[in-house]
Amino acid sequence: MAAPTVLVVEDDPTILALLEVNFEMEGFVVLTAEDGEAGFEVAKESKPDVIVSDVMMPKMSGLELVQALRGNPSTKRIPVVLLSAKAQGADVRNGLESGADDYVTKPFEPLDLIDRVNAVLLRSGES
Taking the CB of residue 40, how many other CB atoms lie within 10 A of it?
Answer: 24
Q: Please give the backbone phi and psi of residue 30, each rounded to the nearest 5 degrees, phi first.
A: -115, 125
Set out the domains of the chain in order of their start, with CATH numbers. Answer: 5-124 (3.40.50.2300)
What's residue 14's pLDDT? 95
Q: In what order do the strands lie in the sheet with 29-33?
A: 29-33, 5-9, 50-54, 80-84, 102-105
pLDDT by residue (tens digit) across 36-87? 999 999 999 999 999 999 999 989 999 999 999 999 999 999 999 999 988 7
Of residues 1 and 111, the one with the higher pLDDT is 111
Q: Please give the backbone phi and psi of residue 47, each rounded to the nearest 5 degrees, phi first.
A: 50, 65
Is residue 22 over pLDDT 80?
A: yes
Q: 75: helix, coil or strand?
A: coil
